[in-house]
Amino acid sequence: MSDPMEIVVSIKGNPNPKTVEFSELYALRDSIGSIMVFWNTNSYYVDSVSKTFIINGGRKVRFNEMEDCRILYRRRTRAEMAVNSGEEKSREVIWIFGIESMATGSTVFVEVSEDGKNWQWNTKL
């Protein structure tokens, strides 16, 4: 898993997807309709309009109760430090992509490992 992550977004009302950097997502946050993230052969797709997740082109989950939704995204870095020396023992990056209900604030998201290979569902950050 050596290829960098690629992020493809579509804007609400515009079906033409475009490739963006993670740093560009914040400026687009209110207009993102869907986001697809690729690492090598792994892909994670979230669509706020149809309230759908598709993981690796196969596992599809649709949420009917989410009402009007927006896309969630975050990069979380967790580091473990040695208490005595202050040296870093390990560092882990987790990518978070999901859907948040605008009405209730309820969330469903997937946490993805730094290499894009491992993932798990969650409902709390």
Range of the domain at 28: 6-122
Q: Is the pLDDT of residue 89 over 90?
A: no
Does residue 78 surpass a pLDDT of 90? no
Q: Is residue 1 part of a domain?
A: no
What are the structure tokens assigned to 20, written together? 């963006």
In a domain, 85, yes or no: yes
Q: Within 13 A of 77's CA, how many CA atoms are on the CB side?
A: 5
Number of domains in the chain: 1
**pLDDT single digits (tens) 19-39:** 999 999 999 988 999 999 998
| Entry pTM | 0.80
67 lies in some domain: yes
The answer to whether residue 60 is domain-embedded is: yes
pLDDT at res. 65: 81
57, 7, 54, 56: which is closest to 32 by C-alpha? 7
